[in-house]
Chains A and B, each alone.
Chain A
Amino acid sequence: MASSQEEVTLLGVVGSPFLHRVQIALKLKGIEYKYLEDDLNNKSDLLLKYNPVHKMIPVLVHNEKPISESLVIVEYIDDTWKQNPILPSDPYQRALARFWAQFMDDKCVVAAAKFVLKVDEKEKEKATEELYEALKFLENELKDKFFAGEEIIGFVDIAAVFIPLLQEVAQIQLFTSEKFPKLFKWSKDFYNHPVVKEIMPSKDQLFVYFKARAQSLAAKKKN
């Protein structure tokens, strides 16, 4: 029995949208794993060993082999465990899914982080504008219940988990239902999806994470 047992370990910090992406993917596939909480301001030896290049969470370790970068990890999970596919099977739809997931990282997450972590006023103003522009694209892109245009969650929804994290858990209003009706509904639907709801941190846990992030960013600026 021991030889067929897959060893899956996940290093993360609760509250990190990047960690939660991976957790949603694992939960969708029904994969059991060992979770190890790390500390952004005092990184573990294990983290430095498994992700020497970026020294960042999340890191998935599967049978002693580490994978880093949340979207890379989610694709790995989809490649390895075939049940409940996360990415579409058609190459063009896959390219679109990858494009929008990358869009989240390139255009939204950084702006959202600046918006939330209370950097100086000018930066926050610029971040608000950037985020608003990005959200408008997402509002146009959203079809039905979820981004894939289906009843089941997919790669782009998973990549966008930072939205309900901020909107529903932290209750930081990124958008109103008047200006962004589709995103507003999507955020609630996604947050209430049974797989997602189980994984979401509490409001307190999320604020602890924001505080730690703000601290480590301030420390970086000093250096």
Chain B
Amino acid sequence: RMANEVVLLETWASMYGIRVRIALAEKGVKYECKEENLRNKSSLLLQMNPIHKKIPVLIHNGKPICDSAIIVQYIDEVWSHKAPLMPSDPYERAQARFWVDYIDKKVYDTSRKMWLSTGEEHETWRKELISVFKQLEETLGDKPFYGGDTFGFVDVGLISFYSWFYSFEIYGNFKMEAECPKLVAWVKRCMQRETVSKNLPDEKEIYDHAEASKKALELK
């Protein structure tokens, strides 16, 4: 009988991969991490995610699961004995799925548009990014976590972007603390969890990575 074999294909800077690492850590699951080079994708990645050819991919006993939000729900359902990430109430579950979908639709795309534009266009996207974070702050309200008293699905979904906040602040010329103080307080709460702090890359390394990507794009 095959042992519980868990492999994660990801890249160090991907916020989507970070979600999966945090979820696996919350559940205390041991896994093997394989770093991909997206400019030279492994045959394993192409075999396991032939449709999108993207990371992260979780491979559990040889079977692939793709898309970070789907992977985190899978992890929650399989390793259900510990640290539940999804709420138990159907309405709360729907809200959690809605907000992770919102994060997926808004944060990366808006930040990228801001990052790659100049002048008036840049200003529009900058304002839009700040309003996205303000919306997320409003959604949190006065709760300690998006999951209420406990760290949950939406918390995992958003905290994975934290290492990018520093870069957003520089490119967008704003301070998260000034615009969204409650969100920053939430970040600090999340960072007290080892499952989070140990799985987030260094924000300055992320910035260097972003700068390098930007230069590469500009050279094209």
Task: List A residues 161-192 near B (Cβ within 8 Å).
Answer: none
- In the bound complex, what is the Cα–Cα distance between A26 and B67 (angstroms)? 27
- In the complex, what's the smallest C-beta–C-beta distance from B168 to chain A, in angstroms? 20
Q: Which of B63-81 contact A (CB under 8 A)?
A: 63, 65-67, 70-71, 73-74, 77-78
Q: Considering the chains assembled together, what is the distance between the CA atoms of A75 and B77 in angstroms? A: 15
Q: A67 near B: Cβ within 8 Å?
A: yes
Give bound CA distance, A95 to B66, whole Å.
8
Cβ-defined contact, B94 with A91, below 8 A: no
For the complex, give the distance between the alpha carbons of A95 and B101 in Å: 16
| Chain A residue at smallest Cβ distance from B93 | A79
Nearest-CB residue, chain B, relative to A134: B51
Whether B65 pairs with A67 at a CB distance below 8 angstroms is no
Q: Indicate if A35 sits at the interface (CB-CB under 8 A).
A: no
Q: Which B residues are in CB contact (< 8 Å) with A98?
A: 67, 70, 73
B135 x A76 contact (CB < 8 A): no
Question: A87-129 toward B: CB 8 Å interface, digit per residue (1/0)?
Answer: 0000110110011001100000000000000000000000000
What is the CA–CA distance of A206 and B71 in the complex, to the nearest angstrom?
36
Residue of A nearest to B101 (CB): A69
A92/B65 in contact, CB under 8 A: yes
Determine whether the beta carbon of A62 is less than 8 Å from that of B91: yes
Cβ contact of B90, chosen from A69, A80, A95, A102, cutoff 8 A: A80
Cα A65 to Cα B74 in complex, Å, equals 27
Given A76-B94, A91-B78, A102 contacting B70 (CB threshold 8 A): yes
Query: Does B102 have its Cβ within 8 Å of any Cβ on chain A?
Result: yes
Number of A-B contacts (CB under 8 A): 54
B102 neighbours in A (Cβ, 8 Å): 53
Q: B98 near A79 (CB under 8 angstroms)?
A: no
Chain B contact surface mostly: helix
User: A148 near B: Cβ within 8 Å?
Assistant: no
Given contacts A53-B102, A67-B98, contact A95 B73 (CB under 8 A): yes
* Interface membership of A14, Cβ < 8 A: no
Name the residue on B nearest A77 (C-beta).
Answer: B90
| A95 with B94, Cβ < 8 A, contacts A53-B135, A69-B101, A72-B101 known | no
With beta carbons under 8 angstroms apart, the residue of A67, A94, A102 that contacts B67 is: A102
Tell me the smallest distance from the CB of A57 to a CB of chain B, in Å.
Answer: 15
The smallest beta-carbon distance between A106 and chain B, in angstroms, is 8
Are the CB atoms of B70 and A95 closer together than 8 Å?
yes
A76 vs B89: C-alpha distance when bound (angstroms): 10
Chain B residue contacts of A95, Cβ below 8 A: 65, 70-71, 73-74
- Assuming the contacts A62-B91, A67-B91, A79-B93, asked whether A99 and B70 have C-beta atoms less than 8 A apart, the reply is yes
Report the bound CA distance from A73 to B95 in whole Å.
10
Q: Is the CB of A94 within 8 A of B94?
A: no
A65 touches B91 (CB 8 A): yes
Which of B66, B67, B73, B98 is the most central at the interface, judged by chain A CB atoms within 10 Å of its CB? B98
Closest to B95 in A: A67
Bound-state Cα–Cα, A95 to B67, Å: 9
- Chain A nearest CB: distance from B51 CB in Å? 6
Q: Which residues of B contact A72 (CB under 8 A)?
A: 94, 97-98, 101
CA gap between A72 and B102 in the complex, in Å: 12
Partner of B77, one of A65, A68, A94: A94
Could you tell me if A76 and B70 are in contact, using CB atoms closer than 8 angstroms? no
Closest to A92 in B: B63
Smallest Cβ-Cβ distance to A94: which chain B residue: B77
In the assembled complex, the Cα of A150 lies from the Cα of B184 at a distance in Å of 48
Q: Which residues of A contact B74 (CB under 8 A)?
A: 91-92, 94-95
Give A residues with C-beta under 8 Å from B: 53, 62, 65, 67-69, 72-73, 75-76, 79-80, 91-92, 94-95, 98-99, 102-103, 137
What are 19 A-B interface contacts by the 8 Å CB criterion? A67-B94, A69-B98, A69-B101, A72-B98, A72-B101, A76-B91, A76-B93, A76-B94, A79-B93, A79-B94, A80-B90, A91-B78, A92-B65, A92-B74, A94-B73, A94-B74, A95-B65, A95-B71, A98-B73
